[in-house]
Amino acid sequence: MRVLLVNGSPHEKGCTYTALDEVAETLKREGIETETFWIGTKPLSGCIACGTCGRTGRCVFDDKVNAFLEIVGNYDGFVFGSPVHFASAGGAITSFMDRVFFADLCSGKQSFYLKPAAAVVSARRAGTTATYDQMNKYFALMQMPIIPSNYWNMVHGFTPEDVKQDLEGLQIMRILGRNMAWFLKIKEAGIKLEVPFPEKEEHIQTNFIR
């Protein structure tokens, strides 16, 4: 079993990475393989609603989004991390998640279907809960079980050294890692017992104005 941790910060080894690394180390101790995907610092455009992804399964902008879409099938769970920018997720990770999940929806691949996911948020001081809510909405739409901890998945600090002093925040990350590992093991056991996946229905889309 493998979990991919997505670092949505412009800082490769900053506060968000420090939180994600605590989750990763816990997952490894639970026998789960992990890798980290950094979205980098190159500009990431927002979705332009061109429809290319629905025809090809790839975004018209050939950047980290397509690199990510190429590997998602190799992983059983995901943790997305973001710093707080103006009480919301950073612009780059927001554009990244918009395009990744929209491309998967439009292509019909369902690469994320019933794969567990979690959001991890890093802030100096405030805006964490709004960002946490924002990120979880992606997972709910994609039918991804959302993995919790014993508190909202957040750490506080201006530097990685500050985050390492947030003992409660680090504990939240460790509990998140153990909960993710437990869910993955339960899912694997269910598959081995041939417990069927939920019955699917054809999607109904209702427009409010006719």
pLDDT band, very low/low/confident/very high, at 209 (cuts 50, 70, 90):
confident
Distance CA 166, CA 164 (A): 5
Distance CA 200, CA 188 (A): 20
Side chain identity at 95, as an amino acid letter?
A: S
DSSP 72-86: GGG-SEEEEEEEEET
Q: What is the mean pLDDT of residues 201-208?
A: 90
Instruction: Report the greatest alpha carbon distance in the chain.
Output: 56
Q: Is the pLDDT of residue 208 over 90?
A: no
The pTM for the full model equals: 0.96
Distance CA 51, CA 180 (A): 34
| pLDDT tens digits, 102-149 | 999 999 999 999 999 999 999 999 999 999 999 999 999 999 999 999
Q: Is the pLDDT of residue 198 over 90?
A: yes
CB 100 within 8 A of CB 109: no
Type and span of the H or E element at 87:
none
User: How many Cβ atoms are within 10 Å of 176's Cβ, its own excluded?
Assistant: 25
| pLDDT tens digits, 24-49 | 999 999 999 999 999 999 999 999 99
Residue found under tokens 């567990």? 116
CB 89 within 8 A of CB 9: no
Percentage above 70 pLDDT, the chain = 100
End-to-end CA distance of the chain: 47
